[in-house]
Amino acid sequence: MNTKKIRISELLTYRTAVTHDVMKDHEKRFGELIKSIKRTSIELSNASQKFGSGIKNAWGTIDKVTLEQGLRLTQLIEETNQELAKKISGSTYSEAEKFHQESVAASNKIILAVRRYVPKIHRTLKTEISTLNSSLLKFEETINTLGKSLDQSPGAKLNPLDRDITLITQAHELLNKTKLQREQNEKQIEAATNQEKNLLEQKEKLLSLPKFQELKLIQTKLTSQKEQISQLTQPLIKPLLKIHRAMINQETPFIDDKILRNFIDDPVQSILTTPTTTNLQILQALENSMIQGTLEIDERKRKKVEDSINEITNTIDNFLVSSLECEGATRRIEQELSTSGLQTKLAQLDETLSDKRAEIQSLTAARTEHDRKIEELTRAIMKHKSAIESQILALSKEQISIDVT
């Protein structure tokens, strides 16, 4: 069996051609039955008019209430049939199905009215009533025949096919739109990334100026010294925690609990902000505890703690002096940079860089969403493609392959 290639944009035209060949005999039958329903509707109207004439001629032999009910029934049948006659009634499956639903509604409305009013009409009108019932039955039968013809046709299969064609067309249009948005998004990311690179080059050039380089050296020196102190104090933390826990039960602890806790949590900051005598007092208390054997530290760790205490004790003054010198030099250079406007320029560059990175992050998130949407739409298109190809094969015995590019 040869496979016919069909583009998504051609599906509606192809569907019309295929369904015309499949449905033409059925649609011809639909058209005939619709005409038959309208014809029996007219016959029902004629019977209703005769019934109405009979009601009027029976004036004087029936009571006023019965007369009014008979005329009301006649009016209802007339109005209902007139409404049905105005309905658009093409012969395609969907048009015939709609007309059938409208006909059923009209028939049900008339039947309910007949059941309500006819039993109350005088027996002298039994001929007119018989004619009316006969016309109504004929009207119902033609409506039922159209319903059976609709059920027996392949037209019911067209609704899922039309739905899949509509959905694949919409998904394909949205997919192309999303792909275009992603391409534009990719260009925006590339442009923003290049702008970020340019800003970084400007910042690097600015930071290469002598004053910034001098500031960097000072900050590097201070950072290095802080790291050295941090490493020296590292072996002391666990032993000091044991001392801190033991202090809880002491009535007169050797040092304020908060001061010791601060040293444990951030020894470098504590050394910089707490008086040297207090810090040395902490170190001395630790050394005394080890001499007394209250900390239960093995020999190797004890030696490491002792070495750290000695080195910190010997370097703490130099560290504090150097830190003060670095801080003073930092303030002086920052003041010079501020006066020259270079610090402001650096701050502006950092702010612009921050905004640009936020923009790139937002664009990247949008790209991720586009990728997710493209994947989702592609899956939906492939699902509808498979469904449409199967339905066309079942309807027309023709094998097609939908081009989704």
Domain-wise residue ranges, the chain: 3-152, 158-405
The predicted model gives 290-318 an average pLDDT of 86
Q: Is the pLDDT of residue 65 over 80?
A: no
**290, 302 in Cβ contact below 8 A?**
yes
**Distant-in-sequence, close-in-space partners of 340: CB < 8 Å, separation ≥ 6:** 211
Band of residue 248 on the pLDDT scale cut at 50, 70, 90: confident
pLDDT of residue 369: 96
Band of residue 18 on the pLDDT scale cut at 50, 70, 90: confident
pLDDT of residue 3: 87
Q: Count of alpha carbons within 13 Å of 249, Cβ hemisphere only?
A: 4
Band of residue 210 on the pLDDT scale cut at 50, 70, 90: very high
The predicted model gives 385-398 an average pLDDT of 88
Q: What is the mean pLDDT of the chain?
A: 89
Band of residue 251 on the pLDDT scale cut at 50, 70, 90: low
Question: In b/e form, how buried is each residue of 148-173, taking b as 16+ CB within 10 angstroms?
Answer: ebbeebebeebeebbebbebbbebbe
Q: Does residue 398 sit in helix, strand or coil?
A: coil
Q: Which residues are registered as beta bridge partners of 6?
A: 402
The predicted model gives 320-324 an average pLDDT of 92
